[in-house]
Structure 1
């Protein structure tokens, strides 16, 4: 098979193209002087993007904040991006041992973030700077081990 008739390497390795038909019947017979309808290409790209975005839970709803959690040796840090449509002075944060509750979002929405480890809520600190709300919480220590006497019966 000549190199002109082979499929591009990226096309053969991409799982998207192996499960979905590409809009061209046969890429081997496609040559440079074929004129494609721009409306067809635009519709194909638009439909492909819609399919890729449907059911995508990565993007938050408009009334939720995007956040990421950093787990260090002694602290948990949650960093939230606050969009311009939310006034930061309307926000208030509540922390318990296992969750963060962010109040004051649009439409009186409350966002609850589950923490990966228990924290000490009374020693938590929240700061806001340049569209970023950061909540730093000390982790609960696992404590020291205590000897437990074993009774033999």
Structure 2
């Protein structure tokens, strides 16, 4: 059983309001939780060069529209697909474009079309498996 004095000491260490003052103003709880979440979950770094890609998501597909840079001919492009991202090669100066996908996809089920200076990529999403699988426990 935790004594109230121990709780106040803990709250003092956490720089939280003392005693019943904590129950009057609940804003400190929100600030405390926000700071805990900000420290616990680091921001994901942005992928370089993926600013000109538009991503659309339907029930079964992910569609990406990527505008070709000037001077790039569609026949010089190479498209590589992974479960979590795509990579476009064949850009000027040996550059690559990497676009991270919002959901996992089947890499081999992909269609790409270049039309009017826009590369359109259609990827089939992997379904979310809700089944449980039993795993033996060692002891």
Cα distance per residue 1:29-50 (max 9 Å; x no partner): xxxxxxxxxxxxxxxxxxxxxx
State the partner residue of 1:83: 69
The structure number with the bigger radius of gyration is 1
RMSD: 2.6
State the partner residue of 1:100: 86
- Return the TM-score normalized by structure 1: 0.52
- Unaligned runs of at least 5 residues, structure 2: 1-45
- Return the TM-score normalized by structure 2: 0.57
State the partner residue of 1:117: 103
Query: Residues 84 and 147 (structure 1 numbering): CA distance in 2 closer, same or farther, change over 3 Å?
Result: closer
Secondary structure, aligned partner of 1:123: strand
Match of 1:137 among 95, 120, 123: 123
Alignment of 1:22-101 (within 5 A): 66-101=52-87
Q: Between Structure 1 and Structure 2, which shows a larger proportion of strand residues?
A: 2
- How many Å apart are 1:84 and its aligned residue? 3.6
The alignment covers a number of residue pairs equal to 90
Q: Which runs of 4+ in 1 moved over 2 A?
A: 146-149
Distance 2:124 2:91 in 1: 25
Secondary structure, aligned partner of 2:108: helix
Distance 1:132 1:86 in 2: 11
Query: Residues 123 and 107 (structure 1 numbering): CA distance in 2 closer, same or farther, change over 3 Å?
Result: same
